[in-house]
């Protein structure tokens, strides 16, 4: 959709609908609620938007499939239109912008100058570093130099998707292009990472909304992931957890257990080691639309150590194993009698007694010292 | 019965014989296991568990081990209280055996204790003493080991009397002087202490009452353990005297040992009858037919069998049967102790225990150490005695 | 020969004296009293849902590590099969054909604790006021006599460590800082200072307070629902001389692993009657008297031997 068309749509909507403002507030409030911001914060967003104080956003694309952008396009709380028209000023986005070529690049430079130190830089896709990064070039510049240049003057840097967070698919072995994520390339800079393949768009929305409303970034973990979304593993809030705890597993795709919706751990579910919120924040805005929900084990797409690295059907260790998962019986069998040990004990014990018994024969009767007569009993 | 002097002489001869090498190898192997135990904890080398916190290290190494060390006590009663001087030559080797039995039992305890570094606190922290039967055992055994050391010291002093080393000579002289004065009072202590702690070893197994099988849970346990240790003491002395004579080529003392065997037979008979009697009076004879009843039967039958063999004068004077009966008496007596501490102990049907091979190795190592040290000391110091020095030909 | 017989009689007589004085429990020792402010817990199996929150809370309040249990390396979670060096409190499952219920197990804090009776230097000690049996590793030698003695198999040992401790529930005594006050009918410490298991139980299946208050509550529940509880009684009121942790159950106690036939006498009764009878009635009188007798006889014998020209012992 070109920018002109978007503007048209908005004018039409505004003029045509008396309840436009109310809808707008409702939309923003819903969006804020969806990502845990209070209604007070939502009002701040509205105010900021009304004053035209929309933060500038520069969205960079590198080695990516554009899945994260596509994912973002399929949101409705708020709708992308609301987001990019009312809440932020999306000044550079290679997929969505109407402009192209030199015009787009001029826009990029102009935005960086005009909003230096204040714009949000969102990175989508991995950055190749091998051979000075020639494997991805836009407008004659390598991705490597582009990201450094843009991130350097940004107010906040957000890496969306696994590719931008840690390299993703391009970085899978043997990683011929030396693909890396934004945090690895932008050493020293705080980069919010929102891994996932695709990332859940609401995680991005939540982060952006907080920045818009409060000017701050959410609490991040040691990998830069917002804790509100990546603070727990899938296993820790999975709807199939009770089956795991009770030992009910699908053993094969399509078997009875699979049909009953049992735990997919044995099919290789990476949920126990994957930090994400897919189990509560589903995809495509359809409840239940997430991998495990539709019967496929989680592949751990948010985790660098798992995604595109560990085979999909290989099982993983449980992170943070708590709480207990089985019930011991009233009296559990403990200890056992080892056959070897009993054998050894019997042999030695019996041997000593037997030897003593046999040796007593040599003592003979009478009281001779050496060479005593062998008097058997 | 009238006073006569005993002449003690070292056996002499090469210490590092083939037998010694075998024994020391066993000790060395078990030493490795001991090292692992101290570095990695008890679970690394044993099958002791929360259900069976005590295993062979306690039941055999300590409880049977100290009983084997009651030779000094048992013979001491005969010689010093009943004034039977003819058993005098048996005293010193019995005391040595006792010292080794108790000393190695203390080592076994240190290996078994999880927090062994706290052991010195037991005799020192007097204000924290409780009425626990085990405390009494611990203090008594500690004191008794010291008493045994004093009791055996005349052997060392005798050896050092003519030593080339002047320090040892003067040590020997002053030692002998001190012994003259105090030995009697120390010996009396040496007859009191074992009576105290051996009976307390019995009392100890009264505390886990609900977990002890009724055939073994009786307030007579302390008395049973006391008589039992005297009986085992005699058996050990007979065994040790016979094998020493044979192994070191010394004249055998069959008539004296025959007399001793008769005493032992009476003690064994008394014990066996008393044991059966107290179970009968408690109305528990029926339990013999059940599960663990056969262990009870074994301990009584073996002891009575030994007594029966020894009541025949012909058997008593035949070293072969002397030794066999003593062996049966020892096994039967030891079985009572192992039964009380291990077999009769039932923490619940779901718990199972059998020692692991490394665990057994430590027990074997302790026994081997005992035998090895005995041989070495007997060859070096004047321990074995008799009616004049015998030919110093050693087979061990 | 006659002399021999005389000696034999002497032996038997001596043995008899020893027997009489050493073996007969003189007077059974007086039963221990319940301490004045005895704290305890009351667990009701009819309320427990087996959620195991109490196990988790106990682990975290007592700094215990997860125990992978017998599943070893395939371990998925903290799954102890019994109380052990890492587990002071456990929920066990009682299965009866198709019926399921739960059993919480931890230290019973007996009125007459066998573990404290066993301990040589009083490392396990019963608090004289609250009656809680606590463990002080400073005086522990790791002999495990307490484990042998406990009829409930509560005390456990860290066999797998080179520096091991005895491990058992201490009613979270380490958390107590303030006085206990009456709260909702029970004498309790402020939040965060009572036993962690009781504070987190979502159904109050296990509660804590003073033992007399809990007994009263237990009896009230029994009276309010006759037939609901096994034999309409509380386990621990008199068993083993009384315990401070009480159990109400709808299944027979023996099925839950409690020693139903343990009797009403304190477990240390027999052992202590014997031990104290011999040694402590008149402190050490018997051993001292025996020593005197032995020394006297030996002295007299020596004199007799010297008279006949014999040597010294």
Contact B354 A337 (CB under 8 A): yes
Lowest mean pLDDT among A285-289, B5-9, B18-22, B377-381: B5-9
Q: C215 vs chain A: nearest CA distance in angstroms? A: 25
Average confidence (pLDDT) over B251-275: 94
Mean pLDDT of all residues in B269-278 = 96
pLDDT of B160 higher than 70: yes
C interface test, pick of A327, A332, A335 with most C CB neighbours within 10 Å: A327
H or E element, residue A90: strand A89-93
Domain count, chain B: 2
Per the CB < 8 Å rule, is B357 touching A341? yes
Sequential DSSP letters for B259-319? HHHHHHHHHHHHHHHHHHHHHHHTT-GGGGGSTTHHHHHHHHHHHHHHHHHHTSHHHHTSH
Region A65-78 average pLDDT: 88
Is B244 contained in some domain? Answer: yes
Tokens of A329: 């019986």
Cβ-contact C134, C195 below 8 angstroms: no
B302 and B213, same domain (yes or no): yes
How far is the alpha carbon of B391 from chain C, nearest alpha carbon, in Å?
Answer: 25
Is pLDDT of C30 > 90? no
- Confidence band, pLDDT 50/70/90 cuts, at residue B388: very low
Phi, psi (deg, nearest 5) at residue A50: -60, -35
Q: What is the pLDDT of residue A291?
A: 96
Is the distance from CB of A114 to CB of A155 less than 8 angstroms? no
Give the Cα separation of A35 and A280 in Å (integer): 12
Q: Would you say residue B1 has pLDDT above 70? A: no
Q: Would the pLDDT of C138 be above 60?
A: yes
Q: Per mean pLDDT, which range of A336-340, B146-150, C189-193 is the poorest?
A: A336-340
CATH no. for C39-269: 3.30.70.20
In a domain, B131, yes or no: yes
Residue A83: pLDDT above 50? yes
Whichever domain contains B249, its CATH number is 1.20.1630.10
Higher pLDDT, C9 or B194: B194
SS3 sequence, B213-246?
CCCCCCCCHHHHHHHHHHHHHHHHHHHHHHHHHH
Inter-residue contact A132 to A144 (CB < 8 Å): yes
Average pLDDT over residues A147-153: 95
B350-374 per-position pLDDT tens digit = 899 999 999 999 999 999 999 999 9
Q: Which residue has the tokens 């999306």?
A: A90
What's the domain range around B23? 13-47+356-372
Question: Of A64, A87, A250, which Cα lies nearest the Cα of A161?
Answer: A64
Q: Please say if the pLDDT value at position C25 is more than 60.
A: no
Q: Given the cut 0.90, state whether the ipTM is greater than it.
A: yes
Question: Taking a contact as any Cβ pair under 8 Å apart, which residues of chain B between 315 and 334 contact chain C?
Answer: none
pLDDT above 70 (res A76):
yes
Among residues 251-290 of chain A, which lie with CB inside 8 Å of chain B?
A: none
Tell me the two tokens of residue B121.
């606190």
What local confidence, expressed as pLDDT, does residue A26 receive? 73
> Does residue B178 have a cis bond before it (omega within 30 degrees)?
no
For residues B24 and B74, membership in a common domain is answered with no
Q: Is the pLDDT of residue B50 over 60?
A: yes
Asked if B307 and B223 sit in the same domain, the reply is yes
Q: Chain A: residue nearest B250 by CA?
A: A369
Cβ of B188: how many Cβ atoms within 10 Å?
Answer: 24
- The dihedral built from the CA positions of residue B80, B86, B88 and B91, taken in this order, carries a sign that is negative
Q: What's the CA gap between B363 and B112, in Å, rounded?
A: 11
d(Cα C131, Cα C255) in Å, to the nearest integer? 28
Counting Cα atoms < 13 Å in the Cβ hemisphere of A208 gives 31
pLDDT, mean over chain B: 92
Which of B123, B203, B341 would best serve as a mutation to test chain C binding (most C beta carbons within 10 A)?
B203
Q: Are residues B143 and B236 in the same domain?
A: yes
Closest approach of chain B CAs to the CA of A374, in angstroms? 10
Whether the CB-CB separation of C279 and C286 falls below 8 Å is answered with yes
| Interatomic CA distance for residues B102 and B105, integer angstroms | 5
Instruction: Kindly state whether residues B101 and B56 are assigned to the same domain.
Output: yes
Q: Is C80 on the interface with A (CB under 8 A)?
A: yes
Q: Does residue B4 lie in a domain region? A: no
Task: Please enumerate in sequence order all residues whose Cβ is within 8 A of that of B7, keeping only pairs 6 or more positions apart, or say none.
Answer: B385, B386, B387, B388, B389
The least confident of A21-25, A335-339, C119-123 is: A21-25
Q: Over 80: is that where the pLDDT of A106 sits?
A: yes
Q: DSSP per residue over A291-358, as a string?
A: TGGGT-----TT-TTTTTTS-TT---PPSS--S--S--BSS--B----HHHHHHHHHHHHHHHHHHHH
Give the pLDDT mean for A315-339: 74
Residues C268-296 pLDDT 10s: 999 999 999 899 888 889 999 999 999 99
Tokens standing for residue A327? 């019930």
Judged by DSSP in three states, B249 sits in coil
Given a cut of 60, is residue B67 above it in pLDDT? yes
Express each pLDDT in A154-182 by its tens digit. Answer: 989 999 999 999 999 999 999 999 999 99
Q: Three-class SS string for chain C?
A: CHHHHHHHHHHHHHHHHHHHHHHCCCCCCCCCCCCCCCEEEEEECCCCCCCCHHHHHHHHHCCCCCCCHHHHHHCCCCCCCCCECCECCEEEEEEECCEEEEEEECCCCECCCHHHHHCCCCCEEECCCCCCEEECHHHCCCCCHHHHHCCCCCCEECCCCCCCCEECCCCCHHHCCCCCEEECCEEECCCCCCCHHHHHCCCCCEEEEEHHHHHHHHHHHHHHCCCCCHHHCCECCCHHHCECEEEECCCCHHHHCCCCCCCCCCCCHHHHHHHHHHHHCCCCHHHHHHHHHHHHHHHHHHHHHHHCCCCCC
- Say whether pLDDT at A287 is over 50: yes
The answer to whether the Cα torsion of C22, C28, C30, C33 is positive or negative is: positive
Put simply, whether A331 touches B (Cβ < 8 Å) is yes
Q: CA of A118: how far to CAs of A91, A96, A361, in Å? A: 13, 22, 104
- Residue with structure tokens 């060395």? B28
Of A322, A330, A334, Cβ closest to residue C77: A322
Alpha carbon of C218: minimum distance to chain B alpha carbons (Å): 26
Confidence band of B234 (pLDDT split at 50, 70, 90): very high
- B107-121, C3-17, C42-56, C209-223: range with lowest mean pLDDT: C3-17
pLDDT at A280 over 70: yes
Q: What would the pLDDT profile of B248-260 be if each residue is shown by its tens digit?
A: 888 888 999 999 9
For residue C96, is pLDDT > 60? yes
- Best CA proximity match to B383, nearest among B41, B72, B116: B72
Around A71, how many Cα atoms within 13 Å sit in the side-chain half-sphere? 22
* Interchain CB contact of B1 with C (< 8 Å): yes
Chains that touch C (3 or more CB pairs under 8 A): A, B
The confidence score (pLDDT) of residue C310 equals 47
| pLDDT at residue number A32 | 67
Q: Residue A242's pLDDT band (boundaries 50, 70, 90)?
A: confident
| Domains observed in chain A | 31-41+49-229 (3.40.50.700), 232-337 (4.10.480.10)
Q: Where are the domains of chain C?
A: 5-24+283-307, 39-269
Q: Which two tokens stand for residue C80?
A: 């102890």
Q: Say how far apart CA B61 and CA B65 lie, in whole Å.
A: 5
Q: What is the pLDDT of residue A81?
A: 83
The whole-number average pLDDT for the span C226-234 is 94
Mean pLDDT over each residue of chain A, to the nearest integer: 84
**Of A150, A92, A155, residue with least CA distance to A118:** A155
- Characterize A216-229 residue by residue with b for buried, 16 or more Cβ atoms within 10 angstroms of its Cβ, and e for exposed: ebbebeebbbbebb
């Amino acid at each position: 959709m070109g920018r002109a068309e978007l503007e048209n749509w908005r004018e039409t909507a505004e003029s045509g609908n008396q309840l436009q403002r109310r809808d707008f507030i409702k939309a923003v409030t819903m969006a804020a609620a969806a990502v845990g911001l209070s209604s007070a914060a939502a009002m701040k967003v509205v105010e900021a938007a009304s004053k035209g104080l929309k933060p500038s956003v520069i969205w960079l694309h590198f080695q990516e499939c554009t899945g994260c952008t596509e994912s973002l396009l399929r949101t409705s709380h708020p709708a992308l239109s609301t987001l990019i028209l009312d809440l932020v000023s999306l000044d550079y986005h290679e997929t969505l912008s109407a402009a192209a070529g030199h015009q787009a690049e001029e826009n990029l430079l102009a935005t960086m100058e005009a909003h230096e130190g204040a714009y949000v830089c969102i990175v989508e896709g991995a950055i190749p570093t091998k051979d000075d990064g020639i494997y991805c070039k836009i407008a004659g510049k390598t991705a490597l130099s582009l990201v450094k240049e843009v991130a350097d003057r940004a107010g906040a840097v957000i890496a969306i998707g696994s590719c931008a967070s840690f390299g993703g698919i391009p970085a899978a072995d043997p990683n011929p292009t030396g693909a890396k994520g934004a945090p690895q390339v932008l050493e020293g800079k705080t980069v919010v990472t929102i891994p996932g393949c695709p990332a859940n768009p609401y995680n991005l929305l939540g982060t952006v909304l907080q920045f818009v409303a409060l000017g701050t970034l959410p609490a991040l973990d040691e990998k830069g992931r917002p804790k509100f979304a990546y603070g727990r593993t899938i296993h820790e809030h999975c709807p199939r957890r009770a089956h795991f705890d009770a030992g009910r597993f699908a053993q094969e795709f399509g078997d009875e257990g699979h049909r009953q919706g049992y735990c997919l751990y044995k099919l290789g579910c990476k949920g126990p080691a994957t930090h994400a919120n897919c189990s509560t924040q589903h995809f495509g805005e359809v409840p239940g639309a997430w991998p495990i929900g539709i019967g496929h084990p989680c592949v751990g797409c948010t985790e660098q150590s798992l995604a595109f690295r560990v085979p999909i059907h290989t099982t993983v260790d449980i992170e943070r194993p708590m709480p207990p998962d089985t019930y011991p019986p009233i009296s559990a069998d403990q200890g056992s009698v080892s056959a070897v040990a009993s054998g050894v004990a019997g042999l030695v014990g019996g041997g000593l007694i037997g030897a003593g018994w046999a040796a007593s024969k040599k003592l003979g009767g009478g009281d001779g010292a050496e060479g005593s007569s062998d008097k058997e009993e | 019965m009238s006073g006569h002097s005993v002449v003690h002489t070292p056996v002499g001869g090469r210490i590092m014989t083939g037998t010694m090498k075998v024994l020391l190898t066993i000790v060395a192997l078990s030493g490795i296991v001991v090292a692992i135990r101290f570095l990695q904890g008890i679970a690394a080398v044993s099958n002791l568990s929360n259900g069976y916190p005590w295993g062979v290290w306690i039941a055999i190494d300590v409880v049977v081990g100290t009983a084997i060390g009651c030779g000094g006590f048992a013979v001491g009663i005969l010689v010093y209280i009943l004034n039977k001087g003819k058993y005098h030559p048996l005293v010193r080797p019995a005391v040595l055996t006792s010292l080794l039995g108790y000393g190695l039992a203390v080592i076994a305890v240190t290996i078994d204790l999880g927090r062994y570094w706290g052991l010195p606190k037991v005799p020192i922290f007097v204000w924290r003493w409780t009425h626990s039967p085990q405390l009494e055992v611990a203090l008594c055994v500690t004191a008794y080991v010291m008493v045994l050391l004093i009791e055996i010291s005349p052997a060392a002093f005798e050896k050092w009397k003519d030593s080339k080393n002047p320090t040892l000579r003067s040590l020997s002289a002053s030692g002998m002087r001190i012994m003259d004065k105090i030995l009697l009072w120390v010996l009396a202590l040496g007859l009191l202490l074992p009576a105290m702690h051996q009976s307390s070893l019995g009392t100890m197994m009264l505390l886990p009452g609900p977990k002890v099988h009724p055939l073994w849970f009786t307030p007579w346990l302390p008395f049973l353990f006391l008589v039992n240790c005297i009986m085992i003491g005699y058996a050990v002395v007979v065994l040790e005297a016979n094998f020493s004579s044979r192994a070191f080529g010394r004249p055998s003392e069959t008539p004296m040992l025959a007399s001793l065997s008769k005493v032992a037979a009476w003690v064994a008979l008394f014990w066996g009858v008393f044991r059966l009697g107290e179970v009968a009076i408690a109305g528990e004879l029926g339990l013999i037919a059940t599960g663990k009843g056969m262990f009870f039967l074994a301990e009584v039958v073996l002891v009575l069998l030994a007594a029966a063999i020894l009541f025949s004068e012909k058997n008593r004077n035949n070293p072969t049967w002397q030794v066999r009966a003593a062996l049966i008496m020892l096994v039967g007596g030891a079985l009572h102790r192992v039964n009380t501490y291990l077999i009769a102990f039932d923490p619940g049907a779901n718990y199972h225990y059998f020692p692991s091979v490394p665990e057994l190795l430590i027990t074997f190592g302790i026994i081997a150490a005992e035998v090895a040290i005995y041989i070495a000391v007997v060859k070096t110091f004047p321990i074995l005695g008799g009616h004049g020095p015998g030919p110093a030909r050693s087979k061990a | 020969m006659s002399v021999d017989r005389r000696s034999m009689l002497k032996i038997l007589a001596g043995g008899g004296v020893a027997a009489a004085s050493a073996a007969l429990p003189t007077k059974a020792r007086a039963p221990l009293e319940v301490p004045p402010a005895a704290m305890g817990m009351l667990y009701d199996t009819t309320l427990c849902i087996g959620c195991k929150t109490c196990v988790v809370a106990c682990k975290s309040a007592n700094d215990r590590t997860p125990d992978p249990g017998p599943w070893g390396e395939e371990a998925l979670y903290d799954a102890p099969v019994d109380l052990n060096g890492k587990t002071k409190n456990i929920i066990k499952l009682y299965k009866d054909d198709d019926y399921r219920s739960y059993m919480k197990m931890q230290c019973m804090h007996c009125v007459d604790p066998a573990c404290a009776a066993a301990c040589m230097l009083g490392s396990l000690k019963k608090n004289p006021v609250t009656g809680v049996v606590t463990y002080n590793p400073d005086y522990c030698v790791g002999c495990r006599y307490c484990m042998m003695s406990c009829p409930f198999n509560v005390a456990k040992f860290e066999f797998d460590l080179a520096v091991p401790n005895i491990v058992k529930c201490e009613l979270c005594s380490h958390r107590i800082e303030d006085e206990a006050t009456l709260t909702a009918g029970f004498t309790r410490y402020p939040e965060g200072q009572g036993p962690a298991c009781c504070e987190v139980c979502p159904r109050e299946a296990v509660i804590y307070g003073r033992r007399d208050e809990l007994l009263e509550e237990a009896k009230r529940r029994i009276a309010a629902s006759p037939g609901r509880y096994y034999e309409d009684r509380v386990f621990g009121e008199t068993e083993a001389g009384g315990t401070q942790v009480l159990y109400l159950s709808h299944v027979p106690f023996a099925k839950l692993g409690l020693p139903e036939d343990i009797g009403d006498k304190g477990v240390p009764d027999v052992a202590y009657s014997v031990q104290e009878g011999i040694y402590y009635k008149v402190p050490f009188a018997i051993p001292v008297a025996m020593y005197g007798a032995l020394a006297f006889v030996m002295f007299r014998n020596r004199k007799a031997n010297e008279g006949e020209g014999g040597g010294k012992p």
